[in-house]
Amino acid sequence: MSATIGVIDYGAGNLRNVLNALKIIGATGKLVAGPGDFEGFDQLIFPGVGAFGDCVTHLDDQGLREPITRWLAEDRPFFGICIGYQVLFEGSEENPGVKGLGHFKGQVRRFPKSELKVPHMGWNTVSPRDPADPVWAGLPNQPHLYFVHSYFPVPEDREIIAATGNYGIDFAAAVRRGAIFASQFHPERSQSAGLRIIKNFLDSSRVGAVKPR
């Protein structure tokens, strides 16, 4: 692989780990921090850590909302990670009233109170809905991936759920629609399995590749 990938920089996020992961798989990441930085990229990764509201505020302050929304509407290759997954939805219980990107209908919910500690932190399995999706190529039926989160999206359209996880309750660990893929787990922190997912996504979504259903 020899490609340069746009990596959304909204003033926070797990940028170094994502850039290092891209380097390991033979790609180069270049930061996208303003509306004029999108030219020349065919693929975007939106990594994230932190609060939903803070993330959205930074996107708006940096003028990133409109170009990201347009990119998504055009169904261009996009991989959202953690907060970069959650902000694709309309809003979050973490910061009521704050408007997400709204590409997918649904809200981000907090794990209900139980005997389990929140945040959900550490390794857990996920169950892909469609193992034939090229993003899962070369992985076991239930890959172990790394999570750090207290909230998770609940899509109105259950058909977009690409993988589920379980932490007391089942939750949408990843979604897929067209060229848009997003995950609650952190592939950049999930060792070989996570690197495989990133590479699979980039390889299968590059210009000229056959898009998944």
What residues are labeled active site?
A: 82, 186, 188
204: tokens are 């299968």
CA distances in angstroms from 35 to 3, 69, 77, 81, listed in the order given: 21, 11, 17, 20
- Phi then psi for residue 176, to 5 deg, are -145, 130
Query: What would you measure as the largest C-alpha separation in the chain, in angstroms?
Result: 48
Q: Tell me which DSSP letter residue 212 carries.
A: P
Q: Tell me which DSSP letter residue 210 carries.
A: P
51: tokens are 């609060």
